Structure 1
Amino acid sequence: MEITKEQIEDYRETGLLFIPELFSTKEVAEMQAAVEDLSKQDIPGRILEKDKKTVRALHGCHNNSEIFDSLIRHPSLLASACEMLNSDVYIYQFKVNLKAAFSGDVWPWHQDYVFWDEEDGMPSPKALNVAVFLDECNEFNGPMYFIPGSHQQSLIHLGQKDSSEIPNNWESNVSAALKYSLDNNTIAKLTHKKGIVAPKGPAGSVLFFHSNLVHGSAPNISPYPRRLLIITYNSINNIPSFKGKPRPEFLVSRDHTPLKPLRGKVLI
């Protein structure tokens, strides 16, 4: 897959680019199997929901899985990221958000870059998220909501910081009570101007979205799981300063080696 100039222009305007069914059914099945296997292991980066038994997320699992280690170098993903960021890139974060059937919890409205700036010292939002649908994403199972065009302004000063109800640790960056979330009034004003979109599509679809794009998702009360794999590529010209104690390696990679695309057989 090669992205076009028109697609890049649309991404720069809206902060989003959706590519349906980039991966085959067989490739998705292999990724699903890897997620199921890792979900059963007590590994660093395995995050549970409030019930302490449902897996909410798996962080840094490209270091524990051959197929995910290959995925970050997939030519269609990597080349597109380099073109969008206009530079070589490295892996900043890798995670799978598992919004389980009946019990997947909310992700409050937020921008990703505030976490990376405040917690890691990332100089600018020159980073890109690539989401791979591991299940069909529909109107029932907690699809991601986005406010198109909201990446064009920073809302960090409106973020929720060190609330007395939110612990000041890395767990507050990945829980349903996010450390830096946006209030209802801000979201209402943004959506009045720009609206809300919820990209939906079959498993194997891919969604590129900007690190400053406002997004969130509702709880999943449907019988359908919504597993979403998210790769964050960062420009090699945008390496964080890591002031203070860095967050765990499974949350923020400190390997800044520029990625090179795999050739030939990529996943399976």
Structure 2
Amino acid sequence: MTTTVLPGGAASAPRFERPLRPREREGPFGPAELAAYHRDGYVEVPGLLGVAEVEAVRARLARLIAQPAAARPVSSLWLVGELARDSRLLDRARQILGARVRVHHGLIDDLPAFAGKGFAWRSDLERWHTGDDTAAPRAMTVSLVLCANLAVNGGLLLIPGSHRTIVSRSEGALPVEVIRGLTDRRGIHQFTGAPGTALFFDAHLLHGSGDNITPYPRTNVSVTFTGAEPA
């Protein structure tokens, strides 16, 4: 069952349908991984990309960052598009969301050594609907690790099972009492992974990140898929 949390000050009713249970279609995810995705809202796949592949993406990313700022958005689209067409990502997205999926957006999540800035707790789906109102309710993000995600360098923090709680708010950060209530019941999972690891997570899942004040950079590239089939 999906729970709806309406913090003080929220003026509207819940806006989103509950996340759909992963469909039992054939694909790369096994039954245990599908069950974990439904229960926790995420699943980790170590070694999805090989060492040489990670190095190739890193090299392309370095060239992209070296480009003039005006050219970076176009180059970013090419990089994200190539990753999104990789069957190791695409087939898993189709297994969860349906045979027809589309790419909603891509993100280079770069927390450089000593200067990386994190972000407050959020649900991507609510953020998109609040901002551009275009994302479908069925959506998942794949975050690919390019530099090791450690417990100390601003790795993602996830609230397991929070994808089944719809948090409706008008603006601003989520109230601390909401986060405290969810974490008291469900805890916090610190995502860590070696280069090449992939984190697949539901777009309803609440997650955040601390700053990176260590000498160790953390760089991920994320691709978000939305389901194009009727619910």
In the superposition, the TM-score normalised over structure 2's length comes to 0.82
* Pair 1:30 & 2:22 matched: no
Gaps of 5+ in 2: 1-26
The answer on 1:128 being equivalent to 2:128 is no
Report what 2:10 is aligned to. none
Larger helix share, 1 or 2: 2
Is this contact kept in 2: 1:60–1:95, CA < 8 A?
no
- In the aligned structure 1, how far is the partner of 2:52 from the partner of 2:139? 29
Three-state SS of the structure 2 residue aligned to 1:220 is coil
Asked if structure 1 preserves the Cα contact closer than 8 Å seen for 2:135 and 2:226, the reply is no
Cα deviation digits, residues 33-78 of structure 1 (max 9, x gap): 11111112233596xxxxxxxxxxxx6744244xx43211111110
Post-superposition Cα deviations, 1:197-230, rounded to whole Å, max 9, x if no partner, equal 0121210000000101000000000000000111
Asked if the contact 1:61/1:95 (under 8 Å) is kept, the reply is no
> C-alpha distance in 2, partners of 1:201/1:116?
27
With over 3 angstroms needed to count, the CA separation of the structure-2 counterparts of 1:45 and 1:236, relative to structure 1, is farther
Aligned pair 1:63/2:77, yes or no?
yes
Name the aligned partner's letter for residue 173 of structure 2. Answer: S
Following the alignment from structure 2 to structure 1, what is the Cα–Cα distance between the partners of residues 88 and 156? 22
Residue correspondence of structure 1 range 128-207 to structure 2 within 5 A? 128-157=140-169, 161=171, 180-207=172-199
| Superposition deviation, residue 104 in structure 1 | 0.3
Q: Structure 1: state its 5+ residue gaps.
A: 47-58, 162-179, 239-268
Q: Tell me the CA shift for residue 235 of structure 1.
A: 1.1
Relative to total residues, which structure has the larger strand share, 1 or 2?
2
**Residue 124 of structure 1: how far off its partner (Å):** 4.5
Q: TM-score, normalised by structure 1?
A: 0.71
What's the counterpart of residue 244 of structure 1?
A: none
Question: Are residue 78 (structure 1) and residue 78 (structure 2) matched?
Answer: no
Change (3 A) 1:78 1:38: same
Instruction: Please tell me the residue identity of whatever aligns with 2:43.
Output: L
Work out the number of aligned pairs and report it: 204
- Tell me the equivalent position of 1:228: 220
- Residue 107 (structure 1) shift: 0.9
Structure 1 residue identity aligned to 2:56? E
Counterpart Cα distance in 1 of 2:101 and 2:173: 27
Equivalent residue number for residue 108 of structure 1: 120
What's the offset of the Cα at 1:123? 6.4
- The match for 1:10 among 30, 36, 45 is 36
SS in 2 for 1:101: coil
Would the alpha carbon gap of residues 69 and 122 (structure 1) be closer, same or farther in structure 2, given more than 3 Å must change?
Answer: closer
- CA distance in structure 2 between the aligned counterparts of 1:226 and 1:138, rounded to whole angstroms: 8
Please give the root-mean-square deviation of Cα atoms over the aligned residues, in Å. 1.9
Q: Which residue among 95, 99, 119 is the counterpart of 2:131?
A: 119
How far, CA to CA, are the matches of 1:119 and 1:2 in structure 2? 33
Contact 2:149/2:193 (CA < 8 Å) preserved in 1? yes
Compute the displacement of 1:27 (Å).
0.4
> For residues 187 and 36 of structure 1, do their structure 2 counterparts lie closer, same or farther at Cα, with a shift above 3 Å needed?
same
In structure 1, distance between residues paired with 2:135 and 2:107: 22
User: What CA distance in whole angstroms lies between the structure 2 residues aligned with 1:183 and 1:45?
Assistant: 38
